[in-house]
Amino acid sequence: MAKFHSAKDANPAILSGKTLAIIGYGNQGRSQAINLRRAGHHVIVGNVEDDSFRQAKSDGFETFTMDHAAARADVILLLLPDEIAPEIYRRDIAPHLKAAKTLVFASGYNITYKFITPPADVDVVLVAPRMIGQGVLDLPARGEGFPVLVGVKQDASGNALARMLAIAQGIGAFMPHGAVVESSFEEETLVDLFSEHTWAGAMLFLLERAFKLLTEAGVSPEVALLELYASGELGEIGHAMAARGFWKQLKLHSHTSQFGQLTHGADFIGPNAEALMLKAIKEIRDGTFAKRWAGEQAAGSPTFNRLLGEVLESALAKAEDDLFAKLGR
Ligand code: NDP
């Protein structure tokens, strides 16, 4: 069973007199910076000098290049895309990692696969929101929290756990409906990639296949898309799963719908499904996927660009453009 940290264990004073640098003022960076400042911490921002840099300045933050921010900070929150972070870490962050500084990650990826290997005399902690950046900003603003997964990888200062919990509190995770759940870099990486490599990707391709077959069966593209996802009902079902329960949300559907879902759904878990899930776990754990993705990027991402190009030009995507134009989206 996972340990849930209690708000009583969090002591914001552990960060008093410390400077927190948000490296990367993007989806997570902006939201976490604003929340941490509201919680009373001294927050600065490091970003390349572009629109996000100007946004940070206009939000009232002292804003620097990434290496200047890292040099000034005691606690460095590395909030960059995972595939970009190692290069920036080596160039701008590592030279400024003095003993007893704390490095905070929002994802386990780069530590799990050793794309980033911090020196032994700094703290390395995970504070990984299970929430998109906009939610990290909006929920605490209305008094609500969100779940975060946390874990200490290295405790050089003797205060890594306390600093990690203070960061989790500062971004809003202990507020009502939030939770600070003990995990690890490796576990966070596993569950995150597992979802992407199994049900999340499968759902997209299953819905696309459904669109193809429905339209071939004579359904108009507009009606098919609205039925499958474009009405927003899918998102509402997701909310209901989180709020009421995975199966209990079925009660929000008609009896006909519940009967249909319960009697047909499992048929789509073919003989291969479990083997594919186990293969995904193996390839995440043994680093096969991470190696493949690193190789893909080193080659200029040809497969990624081809596949993305194909889906963005697909019949579904074209029908969606038409529908969204009609809906004014
Ligand atoms: P973003 O895609 O929003 O990017 C963050 C920042 O990285 C931006 O400020 C961007 O700067 C900067 N950046 C991007 N490319 C470069 C580059 N080549 N050189 C220099 N700076 C660059 O990242 P997220 O906030 O989505 O993700 C940050 C971390 O949070 C990741 O570890 C992610 O896994 C994790 N996370 C993300 C969640 C999400 O919902 N997005 C949820 C939970 C965790 P600029 O804008 O100036 O280009």
Query: Looking at the structure, do residues 44 and 67 belong to the same domain, yes or no?
Result: yes
140 and 263 within one domain: no
Residues 202, 177 within the same domain: no
Q: Is the minimum distance from the CB of 84 to ligand 1 under 6 angstroms?
A: yes
Is residue 288 assigned to a domain? yes
**Whose CA is closest to atom 42 on ligand 1?**
132
> What is the CA(85)–ligand 1 centre distance, in A?
9
Instruction: Note the pLDDT tens digit of each residue in 207-248.
Output: 999 999 999 999 999 999 999 999 999 999 999 999 999 999
List 180's β-bridge partners, or say none.
5, 148
Let me know whether 224 and 104 are in one domain.
Answer: no
pLDDT under 50: residue ranges of the chain: none
> Which domain-ending residue is among 183, 212, 239?
183
Mean pLDDT (the chain, rounded): 97
* Residue type, position 224, single letter: A
**Residue 54, in any domain of the structure:** yes
Whether 188 is in a domain gets the answer no
Task: Among 183, 217, 242, identify where a domain stops.
Answer: 183
Dist. CA 27 → ligand 1 center (Å): 6
pLDDT at 237: 97
- DSSP-assigned letters across all residues of 125-182: EEEEESS-HHHHHHHHHTT---EEEEEEEE-SSS-HHHHHHHHHHHHTTTSTT-EEEE
Nearest residue (by CA) to ligand 1, atom 46, is 52
Instruction: Give me the pLDDT at residue 216, please.
Output: 98
Instruction: State which of 45, 59, 79 you would mutate to test the pocket of ligand 1, scoring each by most atoms of that ligand within 8 A of its C-beta.
Output: 79
pLDDT of residue 9: 92
Does residue 45 sit in helix, strand or coil? strand
Q: 158 and 199, same structural domain?
A: no
CA atoms within 13 A on the CB side of 62: 12
Q: Which of 74, 98, 86, 76 is nearest to 22 (CA)?
A: 76
Cβ atoms within 10 A of the Cβ of 249, count?
17
Sheet holding 179-182, edge to edge: 4-5, 179-182, 147-154, 123-129, 102-105, 75-78, 19-23, 42-46, 62-64
Kindly give the number of the ligand 1 atom that is closest to the alpha carbon of 105. 32
Whose C-alpha lies nearest to ligand 1, atom 37?
A: 28
The answer to whether residues 77 and 217 belong to one domain is no
pTM, whole model, 2 decimals? 0.95
In a shared domain, residues 74 and 177: yes
State which residues form the domain around 209.
193-327
- Report the alpha-carbon distance of residue 40 to residue 18 in Å, rounded: 11
Query: How many A from CA of 251 to the centre of ligand 1?
Result: 38
Domain count, the chain: 2
Provide the CA 201 distance to its chain's centre, in angstroms. Answer: 16
Residue 76 in any domain: the answer is yes
Strands 4-5 and 102-105: unpaired
Nearest-angstrom CA–CA distance, 35 and 41: 9
pLDDT at 3: 97
- Are 126 and 212 in a shared domain? no
- Same domain as 40, residue 177: yes
Q: Does ligand 1 come within 6 angstroms of the Cβ of 189?
A: no
CATH number for the domain harbouring residue 176: 3.40.50.720
26 within ligand 1 shell (Cβ under 6 A): yes
Q: Do 147 and 273 fall within a single domain? A: no
Token digits for 220?
């108009």
Q: Are residues 157 and 221 in the same domain?
A: no
Are 100 and 199 part of one and the same domain? no
Q: Which residue has the tokens 């004579």?
A: 218
Instruction: Report the nearest-CA residue for atom 34 of ligand 1.
Output: 107
Last-in-domain residue among 125, 148, 183: 183
> Per residue in 167-180, pLDDT tens?
999 999 999 999 99
Ligand 1 binding pocket includes 135 (Cβ within 6 Å): no
Closest ligand 1 atom, residue 135 Cα = 40
Structure confidence at residue 100 (pLDDT) = 87
Residue 260 lies in a domain: yes
